[in-house]
A and B are shown apart, each in its own frame.
Chain A
Amino acid sequence: MSDTDVAATEAEREPRSELDRLTAPVPAVQDGGPEMVQLLTPEGQRVPNADYDAVLESLTDDDLRGFYRDLVLIRRVDAEATALQRQGELGIWASLLGQEAAQVGSGRALKPQDYAFPTYREHGVAWCRGVDPLNLLGLFRGVNHGGWDPNEKNFHLYTIVIGAQTLHATGYAMGVQRDGAVGTGDDLRDTAVIAYFGDGATSQGDVSESLVFAGVTNAPVVFFCQNNQWAISEPNERQTRVPLYQRASGFGFPGIRVDGNDVLAVYAVTRAALDHARSGQGPTFVEAFTYRMGAHTTSDDPSKYRVSAEVEVWKHRDPILRFKAWLAHEGKADHEFFEAVEREADVLAAHIREGCLSMPDPAGTEMFDHVYVEPHPLVAKERAEFTAYQASFEGAH
């Protein structure tokens, strides 16, 4: 089934009334609809857009080539991590395959002083924030719960409890307000916060509450929802009857749907939303319409709940292919550049593999190390007991 076929079936289903629309069977293949901001078609054609073209003007050709490099490298990180999991080197891996543009476009729209709150799938955003991919692997290998310093990169730890981080992001943004770091007009000072979450997460009370708090406080936060159409085995219609971006209006701030597989559109829309927040105009809900090309995680088997035809359609909407086609067509990048990025990806993959295989296991005593700031008698006692108990085995060998 091609995109045009999908559009045709959509048209046949033209709703007759609001009730019809709400109760209509859900289309087999998701379509962003006319409200979706798209600057590059799946074929790589540039679509002019009066609202967002200006945002792109600030991008140099180097920036654009940088986006491409990010997309390719992070996809390679993802592929290597998936392979390492298959070989037993990682306990589990949550693939970002298909969501590269949503993550790179939004991640590159951030300024250094901005703060990002990820889920567990934001490897592309982590990359943009300068987090070493090996740190991500540490978590999935079971060596730590995320080895990076969140404050060094302004990139919070991965949050696995669905939706919780949206409240943290909102509270952080409320702190930014109190610091007087919004609406000063100082580019280096004004700060925005971005909260990442999935389509499934929108059902959580925490997410609704974060929208309430952000709405009433006018906090400088962007709610960046990657609608990848699935929450493990549950398709979107299990979570919502309205397009997700429309939720925002009920909380009193703008919502916008963007083609999550179009890095230019994601960059432009997120950049505008972040600027809006930094200038003191409050929150925005961005729904990045995308697709989870792989399994939920390496533990999951999507053949149990979704048809491969759907995946095939989304293959034609690949975020990297369209951007590459456009760069080449515009003469912004040539064959040599693309080759060089491939070679860089090979080197990165090797670095990741090597780094993963040589990653030391943590010492057992480490688990006692950071539970409290102040000394704690019970933890200290158990740490000592643990050490003595471990030592009792050493003589035995």
Chain B
Amino acid sequence: MPGTTIAKAVNNGLRAAMDKDARVLLMGEDIGKLGGVFRVTEGLQKDFGEERVIDTPLAEAGIVGTAIGMALRGYRPVVEIQFDGFVYPAFDHIISQVAKMRARSLGKITLPMVIRIPVGGGIGAVEHHSESNEAYFTHTAGLRVVCCANPGDAYWMIQQAIETDDPVIFYEPKRRYWDKGEIPETAELGLGDARVCRPGTDVTLLAYGPMVKTCLQAAEAADAEGKSLEVIDLRSLSPVDVPTIVESVRRTGRAVVVHEAPTFGGLGGELAATIMQECFYSLEAPVLRVGGYNIPYPPAKLEDEFLPDLDRVLDAVDRSLAH
């Protein structure tokens, strides 16, 4: 499949999962005839019918709550939340029910469901359409949280997410939906694995989702200045692939974490702490974080200033190297 977009790759991945397992069904707002506002489910209702691709009432708590019931009955629901900022009505169900069901039932109940969320900014949208809320979910034990950054991973990770018996928050980087790439014949990694997507020797950049591309561009630019940056795409935000990170940072001695979410209480802090514990004697500089500012996501005209970009990543790299 040469040159597939991320949106189409998720679509193909959903299709493959639905072909393979009749218990997989999709639920969400506008996912049927319209194919979702990002067209990720385009054509699936036509091919799999309204019983398996459900245009739900406009109610996120209802969607996730009934998906729980479907999963209890043996189905494998894949839920679409239309935009990151609209997952909160379902928050109670995700935190108190989805995440805890397995432990509460002493392992008797599994909830094999996937909650797909287009995530992040950079599309010039109005309020609530550009949020990076992964830390709320990575902070919650019982959920797996993953984020794809390219079409190949989008295709394979969505299938792995559907296959795993744990509930998964599946983030899709919305501003990269139309980026194209190759889809490998087989899954190269497990759902929980990070990928070193560009090897380097001077500084390790840790990123996921939309920021992977930004970091790869930064590494390219740094290369021209004789700096060698290693870029790791975390892919899984919970659990985190600690060995891959540690191996890298022990070699480079420097790490910069990049995400769109505000840094305070964000995943970057967790990664920095882990790196400090595991790589203390190899570190040449403090682990730095580049993220959104600790303010509500601004109006679209200011999002370029809010979001980390190539310059801000390189600025952090320079600060790291200055140590």
**B35 adjacent to A162 (CB under 8 Å):** no
The stretch that binds A, out of B54-62, B139-147, B191-199, is: B54-62
Once bound together, how far apart are the Cα atoms of A200 and B300, in whole Å? 26
Do A162 and B58 form a contact, CB below 8 Å, given A368-B295, A386-B305? yes
A281 — which chain B residues lie within 8 A by C-beta? none
**B89 adjacent to A204 (CB under 8 Å):** yes
**A203 adjacent to B58 (CB under 8 Å):** yes
A145 at the interface (CB under 8 A from B): yes
1/0 per residue, CB under 8 A from A, across B110-152: the answer is 0000000000000011111000000000000000000000000
1/0 per residue, CB under 8 A from A, across B266-300: the answer is 00000000000000000000000000011110111
Once bound together, how far apart are the Cα atoms of A368 and B128, in whole Å? 18
- The smallest beta-carbon distance between A221 and chain B, in angstroms, is 21
**B30 adjacent to A233 (CB under 8 Å):** yes
B223 at the interface (CB under 8 A from A): no
**B58 adjacent to A239 (CB under 8 Å):** yes
> Which residue of chain A lies nearest to B54 when distances are taken between CB atoms in the complex?
A238
**A239 adjacent to B124 (CB under 8 Å):** no
> Which residue of chain B lies nearest to A383 when distances are taken between CB atoms in the complex?
B293
Do A142 and B30 form a contact, CB below 8 Å, given A234-B55, A239-B58, A368-B295? no
A361 at the interface (CB under 8 A from B): yes
B100 at the interface (CB under 8 A from A): no
B55 — which chain A residues lie within 8 A by C-beta? 233-234, 238
**B301 adjacent to A304 (CB under 8 Å):** no
- The smallest beta-carbon distance between A299 and chain B, in angstroms, is 8
Q: How many residues of A contact B (CB 8 A)?
A: 43
B222 at the interface (CB under 8 A from A): no
B37 — which chain A residues lie within 8 A by C-beta? 232, 299-300
**A161 adjacent to B86 (CB under 8 Å):** yes
B35 — which chain A residues lie within 8 A by C-beta? 304
- Tell me which residues from 34 to 48 in chain B have a Cβ below 8 Å from any Cβ of chain A: 34-35, 37
Q: How many residues of B contact A (CB 8 A)?
A: 39
> Which residue of chain A lies nearest to B123 when distances are taken between CB atoms in the complex?
A91
**B264 adjacent to A378 (CB under 8 Å):** yes
**A204 adjacent to B59 (CB under 8 Å):** yes
Do A238 and B301 form a contact, CB below 8 Å, given A232-B29, A367-B295? no
**B124 adjacent to A304 (CB under 8 Å):** no
**B295 adjacent to A91 (CB under 8 Å):** no
B315 at the interface (CB under 8 A from A): yes
Contact partner of B126 among A91, A378, A382, A390, CB < 8 A? A91
Once bound together, how far apart are the Cα atoms of A41 and B83, in whole Å? 40
A233 — which chain B residues lie within 8 A by C-beta? 30, 32-34, 55
B303 — which chain A residues lie within 8 A by C-beta? 142
B29 — which chain A residues lie within 8 A by C-beta? 231-232, 234
**B301 adjacent to A143 (CB under 8 Å):** yes
**B34 adjacent to A362 (CB under 8 Å):** no
Once bound together, how far apart are the Cα atoms of A238 and B55, in whole Å? 7
- The smallest beta-carbon distance between B124 and chain A, in angstroms, is 5
B302 at the interface (CB under 8 A from A): yes
Contact partner of A142 among B62, B295, B299, CB < 8 A? B299
> Which residue of chain B lies nearest to A371 when distances are taken between CB atoms in the complex?
B295
Once bound together, how far apart are the Cα atoms of A171 and B57, in whole Å? 25
1/0 per residue, CB under 8 A from A, across B59-88: the answer is 101100000000000000000000001101
A144 at the interface (CB under 8 A from B): yes
> Which residue of chain A lies nearest to B128 when distances are taken between CB atoms in the complex?
A160
Once bound together, how far apart are the Cα atoms of A371 and B124, in whole Å? 21
A91 — which chain B residues lie within 8 A by C-beta? 124-126, 300
1/0 per residue, CB under 8 A from B, across A192-216: the answer is 0000000011011110000000000
B306 at the interface (CB under 8 A from A): yes
**B57 adjacent to A145 (CB under 8 Å):** no
Once bound together, how far apart are the Cα atoms of A200 and B30, in whole Å? 11
1/0 per residue, CB under 8 A from B, across A118-154: the answer is 0010000000000000000001111111000000000
- The 8 A-B pairs at the shortest CB distance, nearest first, are namely A142-B300, A233-B34, A203-B57, A367-B298, A200-B58, A305-B33, A203-B59, A364-B305
Write 25 A-B pairs (CB below 8 A) sorted by A numbering.
A91-B300, A92-B126, A139-B126, A142-B300, A142-B303, A160-B128, A161-B86, A162-B86, A200-B58, A203-B57, A203-B58, A203-B62, A205-B59, A206-B89, A233-B55, A234-B29, A238-B55, A239-B57, A239-B58, A299-B37, A300-B37, A304-B33, A364-B302, A367-B298, A390-B305
Known: A161-B89, A304-B35, A382-B294. 14 other contacts (CB 8 A): A91-B126, A142-B126, A145-B127, A160-B126, A203-B59, A204-B89, A233-B32, A299-B37, A362-B299, A362-B302, A364-B302, A367-B305, A368-B295, A393-B311
**Interface on B for A, CB 8 Å cutoff?**
29-30, 32-35, 37, 55-59, 61-62, 85-86, 88-89, 124-128, 264, 293-296, 298-303, 305-306, 311-312, 315
